[in-house]
């Protein structure tokens, strides 16, 4: 069944062209930062980061390895429980490696703080964070991305990898989900 997006989307927050333009700008900054390194490991946080990681990686000029973690503090809820669990771990040893965590959105910071500490304890040489979206109003932990695409208000967003109940990740833009869609939970 095809969704009537007008019935679930309040507004398009970031259009497809703006996403592409900003990702190219982020890649240029990352290329400059790592210009003297041989390679880096991109660690994509499943599932939301896939679209962002793919577009970002295509713009990077440095050799990259790519691996994924599935780390959750949400479960099927629309809010963070604060309890972080690793559902899928890396297949790559990070000891002595320059790691770039690629995240779709930072809100509470719980998951990202846990992940950065975990990779640090595993011996990563450096850990940097790039996120497409930053939602500072929701921050519970003091964590800051080294690079971010867009600061956004405290709204529930979908598209370009972000979901509501595992749906709508495939939208080519980022939209605000209507409150009545998720407020009955």
Which positions are catalytic? 107
* Pairing of the two strands 174-177 and 147-151: unpaired
Q: How far is Cα 154 from Cα 117, in angstroms, rounded to an integer?
A: 26
Look at the block and give the residue holding tokens 């975990």.
118
Residues in the chain: 185
Q: How far is Cα 41 from Cα 117, in angstroms, rounded to an integer?
A: 16
What stretch of H or E contains 101?
Answer: strand 98-106
What stretch of H or E contains 172?
Answer: none
**DSSP state for residue 113 in the 8-state scheme:** H
Q: How far is Cα 94 from Cα 121, in angstroms, rounded to an integer?
A: 10
């Amino acid at each position: 069944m095809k969704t009537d997006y007008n019935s679930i989307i309040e507004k398009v927050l970031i259009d497809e062209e703006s996403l592409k333009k900003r990702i190219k700008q982020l890649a240029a900054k990352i290329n400059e930062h790592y210009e003297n390194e041989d390679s880096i490991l991109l660690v994509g946080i499943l599932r939301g980061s896939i679209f962002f990681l793919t577009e970002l990686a295509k713009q990077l000029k440095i050799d990259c390895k790519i691996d994924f973690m599935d780390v959750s503090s949400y479960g099927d809820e629309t809010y963070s429980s604060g309890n972080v669990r690793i559902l899928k771990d890396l297949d790559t040893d990070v000891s002595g490696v320059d790691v770039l965590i690629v995240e779709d959105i930072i809100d509470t910071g719980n998951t990202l703080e846990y992940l950065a500490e975990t990779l640090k304890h595993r011996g990563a040489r450096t850990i940097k964070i790039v996120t497409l979206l930053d939602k500072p109003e929701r921050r519970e932990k003091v964590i800051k991305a080294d690079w971010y695409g867009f600061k956004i208000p405290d709204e529930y967003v979908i598209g370009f990898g972000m979901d509501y109940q595992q749906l709508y990740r495939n939208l080519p833009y980022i939209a605000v989900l209507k409150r009545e869609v998720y407020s009955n939970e």
